[in-house]
Amino acid sequence: MFGLFRRKFKISDPGPPPDVREAFRQYAEGLERMTADQFLTFLIDHQEERCSAADAEANLQKVLRRLDGGREAELDGRLTLEDFFYFLFQDDLNGPINVQVHHDMTAPLQHYFIYTGHNSYLTGNQLNSDSSEIPIIRSLQNGVRGIELDLWPNSAKDSVHVLHGRTLTTPIPLIKCLNCIKDHAFVASPYPVIITLEDHLTPELQAKVAKMVTQVFGDMLYYPDSGYLGEFPSPEALKYRVILSTKPPKEYLVSSNTNIDEENSLPMEKDSSDDEVLSDSDPDDEGNDVYRQKSSNAAEPEYRQLIGIHAGKAKKSLRDTLRSGIDKVNRLSLSERRLEKAAESYATDLVRFTQRNILRVFPKGTRVTSSNFRPIVGWIHGAQMVAFNMQGYGKSLWMMHGMFRSNGGCGFVKKPELLTRKGPSTEVFDPSLPLPVKRILRVSVYMGTGWRLDFSRTHFDAYSPPDFYTKVQIIGVEADSANRKTKIIEDDWVPYWNEEFAFPLRAPELCLLRIEVSDHNVSEKNNFAGQTCLLVSELKPGIRAVPLYDKKGVKFKSVRLLMGFQFE
């Protein structure tokens, strides 16, 4: 029993890994302390940082002040091995990705992945949870740029509510949603917020919506003077603007002779690739045909002129729609199931369509618990707006969080060139084709720390320290998918693995690196101990501190890994 008690409080101190010791020896030139100039050389040569002497000096002083305010003068601003090791383990000073906006933000909107929510007003499941402005606010605070609202008449048919139609979800007034969007739209990012409206309204209520949005947003609201965009503007040009995206009223669609029907069309559609009839729309993707038949021209000009991004759904076969060479840019919506089917049958048509238009993908209607699908299928085919239930925690949402931690968390991530370019014969990238290895990513998992600060002593095991191991996964095109796992370190709050994994990558621009730490149990389910996802193209080379997050995507205060990244 006394042995178990001692094991419970055992905390090892393995010290710096060999790679850290070697880097210090090399850049300190064999001396016991590293000067500011030597530290700068390490940051530039080993970590491949774009760093000035002033930046290096500032980081060095931060390290010394954090460790001991009096040591700065004592050591004349030089780092010992322990100081150097401490710096490497600070994710705010030595994190794995650039935390500033650094992508070109002047390309057309369709050249970006856009952080997009689905049924953004729901607090829980898709059937009977409450509608509220709180999830909208939370999403905007987390950098989400695509907010979805379902518009329905209230019981008196004289105003507009937001709710998941034909379910038991409670309503919230539209005006309340619009006001909260205005107040929180740009707290996390200056780049545009796209409000996708699922419109189930009469023309009279459409007119009320038009009045609401103009009064609430004023000059913040962006819409083209001509009524229809010939080319999408850039995120840079749309800073601090709000854009409405929905289907035009039916008469306008008929008169414009577009190849895309309204997004809220009938849920049963025929796909040209075979004779299967698909019915995978969720309830809010269905139209209200009674209101469509009653539609008049009275409210249309004002309402339709406010639509910044016209939305649609395949009127003919999906493949014909993708290939139709639309004169004016659109947003097309597909369920996850239709996307998967199209990706299997005509992947290049999807990629080519997204080079000019916006593709939105939403969860299938059977995901009533607000679960999510794997977003990578949409991304590798160029889909910009992969719409997610932000309350639906799980591995799929972790991937979404990982993608949009990139580019400073601004909600827009520039698509890689392979998705936006055309070859000499207008050929485009085909994710299904075999590709040669382009780069090799080497990932070192050195050690981890912080669990004893963020968890209770008995959280993982009642009588002993946890038995940690780390899973490392590549998510991308099928040929790049890979899983690796470290050995299990038994009975230690500070696990020391010091293992390296090599991942040959064919399309590294489209890969995510998923990392998850677990506590191993022999007779029970393993305990979750932290996770993160990172876009491979965003990884900084060198030895890095990688913070971990809980199941909801909230960053732990102390838990982090020391890892190494090297590209060949």
Element (H, E) at 359: strand 358-362
| Residue 305 tokens, joined | 């002129």
Distant-in-sequence, close-in-space partners of 421: CB < 8 Å, separation ≥ 6: 428, 429
Asked if 46 is an active-site residue, the reply is no
Written as one letter, the residue type at 12 is: S
Q: According to the 3-state scheme, what is the secondary structure of 473-489?
A: EEECCHHHCEEEECCCE
User: Measured in whole angstroms, how far is the alpha carbon of residue 511 from the centre of its chain?
Assistant: 13
Closest to 297 (Cα-Cα) out of 365, 207, 227, 216: 207
Using CA atoms, how far residue 341 sits from 273, 274, 318, 346, in Å, is 9, 10, 10, 8
Q: 10 Å Cβ neighbour count for 343?
A: 19
Asked if 164 is an active-site residue, the reply is yes
Q: Which sign, positive or negative, has the C-alpha torsion 279, 283, 285, 290?
A: positive
The whole-angstrom separation of Cα 181 and Cα 241 is: 11
Q: Which of 111, 118, 200, 381 is catalytic?
A: 118
Query: Is the distance from CB of 114 to CB of 384 less than 8 angstroms?
Result: yes
Written as one letter, the residue type at 484 is: R
Q: For residue 156, give the 3-state DSSP assignment.
A: coil
Strand-strand pairing, 242-246 and 193-199 = parallel
- Torsion (CA) 211, 138, 124, 145 in degrees, nearest 10: 60
Q: Which of 103, 111, 161, 164 is catalytic?
A: 164
Query: Is the distance from CB of 5 to CB of 464 less than 8 angstroms?
Result: no
Query: How many CA within 13 A on the CB side of residue 290?
Result: 3
Distant-in-sequence, close-in-space partners of 446: CB < 8 Å, separation ≥ 6: 17, 19, 20, 496, 497, 498, 543, 561, 562, 563, 564
Q: 10 Å Cβ neighbour count for 48?
A: 12
Q: For residue 268, give the 3-state DSSP assignment.
A: coil
The whole-angstrom separation of Cα 385 and Cα 151 is: 20
Burial track 382-393 (b if 16+ CB lie within 10 A, e otherwise): bbbbbbbbbbbb
Q: Which residues are catalytic?
A: 118, 164
